[in-house]
C-alpha cells in the first residue's frame, strides 16, 4: 500500500536536491529519508534519484512522477493545514484585552462568538504593550499606535453623548439645544445630578472641552461608579445625567430606561481598533473578531 509520507519525502528531496536538507525540512533523520525513497522506488518500480558528490539528481522517471503528483499533493497539504488551523482556532483559549468600560457592549459580543476567552482590563498603552510582548493575543483599543510588530485595523467608531434617566425633564433644555444656546444648555446641565465612572470626570471634561471650549466644567460628580456600564444601569434606576460612550447607552435608550439628552455635532467620534501580534495562526480569528466588532459598532 502506498504511504503519503513517501510522496511528502519525495517532494522535499526533489525540491532540495539533497537528503540532508529534506530531513531538516521534514524534521526526520536522514536515514529515514533514504529509507522512504527506497520504499517509494520499490513501489513505483523505477529509480528516482542518482547520487552526486553534493546531493542527488532526479531521474527522468522522478521528473515525470513529480509532474503527476505535485498539484494533487499541494492541494492535499493545503486541505490538511486548513483543517488543522480550524481545529486549533475553534478550541483555542483567546486572550483579549479591553477597557472595562467597553466590556459589556463590545466584549460581550466576543463571548457570544467564541467558546474560550480570557479577558484582561487595562488602559490603551498597557494593552498595546501586552500585545506587542505577545502576552495577549488581541486588544480592543481607542488609540492608534505606530508599530511594525503588530497588526492594527479600525473596527468602527464610538462617541461620547449626554444621557439622562427616564424621569429627567428635557422640555427646557431641548429647545436650547435646537437653537444652540450654549449658555442656557450649560446652566441646565450644571443644575443636574451627575454620575461618572471616575472621580476626575474625564468624559465630562472632554465633552466640555469640545462642545463649550472649556477645560474645567463647574461640575462635581454626585456619584462615582468605577464601571461605565454599571454606572448607566444605576443611573437608569435613579435620577440624573452622565456623559458616556454612545455604544454603552444604546440598548438602555432603546429600552427607554435612559434617554438621549444631547448628541452634539461638536463632539468628535473616537476610532476603535483591533490589535494583534503578527501570527498566521491568529489571522482567521482576527477576521472573525473584526466582523463581530463591526456588527456592534455599525
Task: Evaluate if residue 66 carries a pLDDT over 60.
Answer: yes
Q: Give pLDDT, residue 87.
A: 46
When pLDDT is averaged across residues 146-167 and rounded to a whole number, the result is 93
CA distances from 227 to 36, 51, 163, 185 (A): 63, 71, 16, 27
Q: How far apart are CA 209 and CA 187, in angstroms?
A: 16
Q: Give pLDDT, residue 239.
A: 97
Q: Give pLDDT, residue 18.
A: 92
Confidence grade of residue 184 (pLDDT, cut at 50, 70, 90): very high
The 10s digit of each residue's pLDDT in 3-49 is 778 888 988 999 999 999 998 888 888 999 999 999 989 888 889 99
Q: Give pLDDT, residue 79.
A: 66
Q: How far apart are CA 183 and CA 171, in angstroms?
A: 16
- Per-residue HEC secondary structure of 162-177 comes to EEEECCCCCCCHHHHH
Among 165-179, 196-210, 281-295, the minimum mean pLDDT is found in: 281-295
Q: Which residues contact 142 (CB under 8 A, 6 or more apart)?
A: 99, 124, 158, 270, 271, 272, 273
Asked if 253 and 163 count as a contact pair (C-beta separation under 8 A), the reply is: yes
**What percentage of the chain has pLDDT greater than the value 70?**
95
Asked if 221 and 195 count as a contact pair (C-beta separation under 8 A), the reply is: yes
Confidence grade of residue 83 (pLDDT, cut at 50, 70, 90): low
Q: How far apart are CA 79 and CA 62, in angstroms?
A: 25
Mean pLDDT of the chain: 90
> What DSSP assignment string belongs to 183-251?
HHHHHHHHTS-EEESSTT-HHHHHHHHHHT--SS-S---SEE-SSHHHHHHHHHTSS-EEEEEHHHHHH
Give SS3 for 65.
helix
Task: Evaluate if residue 202 carries a pLDDT over 70.
Answer: yes
Other Cβ atoms closer than 10 A to 154: 14
Cell of 76: 492535499
Q: Which residues contact 121 (CB under 8 A, 6 or more apart)?
A: 97, 98, 99, 100, 103
Enumerate domains of the chain plus CATH numbers.
4-91 (1.10.10.10), 94-158+270-297 (3.40.190.10), 160-262 (3.40.190.10)
When pLDDT is averaged across residues 62-73 and rounded to a whole number, the result is 84
Q: Which residues contact 146 (CB under 8 A, 6 or more apart)?
A: none
CA neighbor of 143 nearest in space, from 195, 102, 113, 110: 102
The 10s digit of each residue's pLDDT in 245-290 is 999 999 999 999 999 999 999 999 999 999 998 877 788 889 999 9
Q: In what order do the strands lie in the sheet with 138-141?
A: 117-121, 94-98, 138-141, 270-277, 150-158
Report CA torsion sign: 67, 71, 74, 76: negative
Q: How far apart are CA 110 and CA 298, in angstroms?
A: 16
Alpha-carbon dihedral 143, 146, 147, 153, rounded to 10 degrees = 50
* Strand partners of residue 270: 158
The 10s digit of each residue's pLDDT in 102-122 is 999 998 888 888 888 999 999
Report pTM.
0.67
Q: Which residue has the higher pLDDT, 86 or 161?
A: 161
When pLDDT is averaged across residues 284-297 and rounded to a whole number, the result is 92
Amino acid at each position: 500500500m502506498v504511504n503519503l509520507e513517501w510522496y511528502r519525502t519525495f517532494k522535499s528531496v526533489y525540491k532540495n536536491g539533497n537528503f540532508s536538507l529534506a530531513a531538516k525540512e521534514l524534521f526526520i533523520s536522514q536515514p529515514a529519508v533514504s529509507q522512504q525513497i527506497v520504499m517509494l522506488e520499490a513501489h513505483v518500480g523505477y529509480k528516482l534519484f542518482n547520487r552526486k558528490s553534493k546531493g542527488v539528481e532526479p531521474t527522468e522517471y522522478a521528473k515525470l512522477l513529480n509532474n503527476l503528483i505535485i498539484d494533487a499533493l499541494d492541494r492535499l497539504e493545503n486541505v490538511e493545514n486548513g483543517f488543522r488551523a480550524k481545529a486549533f482556532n475553534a478550541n483555542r483559549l483567546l486572550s483579549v484585552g479591553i477597557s472595562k468600560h467597553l466590556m459589556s457592549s463590545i466584549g460581550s459580543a466576543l463571548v457570544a462568538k467564541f467558546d474560550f476567552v480570557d479577558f484582561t482590563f487595562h488602559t490603551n498603552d498597557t494593552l498595546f504593550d501586552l500585545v506587542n510582548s505577545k502576552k495577549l493575543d488581541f486588544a480592543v483599543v481607542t488609540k492608534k499606535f505606530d508599530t511594525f510588530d503588530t497588526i492594527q485595523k479600525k473596527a468602527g467608531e464610538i462617541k461620547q453623548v449626554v444621557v439622562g434617566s427616564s424621569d429627567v425633564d428635557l422640555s427646557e433644555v431641548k429647545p436650547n439645544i435646537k437653537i444652540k444656546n450654549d449658555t442656557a444648555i450649560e446652566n441646565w446641565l450644571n443644575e443636574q445630578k451627575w454620575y461618572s465612572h471616575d472621580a476626575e470626570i474625564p468624559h465630562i471634561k472632554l465633552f466640555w472641552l469640545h462642545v463649550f471650549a472649556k477645560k474645567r466644567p463647574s461640575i462635581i460628580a454626585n456619584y462615582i461608579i468605577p464601571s461605565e456600564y454599571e454606572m448607566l444601569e444605576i443611573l437608569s434606576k435613579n435620577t440624573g445625567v452622565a456623559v458616556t460612550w454612545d455604544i454603552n447607552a444604546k440598548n438602555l435608550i432603546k429600552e427607554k430606561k435612559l434617554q438621549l439628552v444631547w448628541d452634539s455635532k461638536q463632539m468628535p467620534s473616537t476610532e476603535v481598533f483591533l490589535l494583534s501580534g503578527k501570527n498566521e495562526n491568529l489571522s482567521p480569528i482576527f477576521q472573525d473578531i473584526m466582523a463581530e466588532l463591526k456588527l456592534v459598532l455599525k
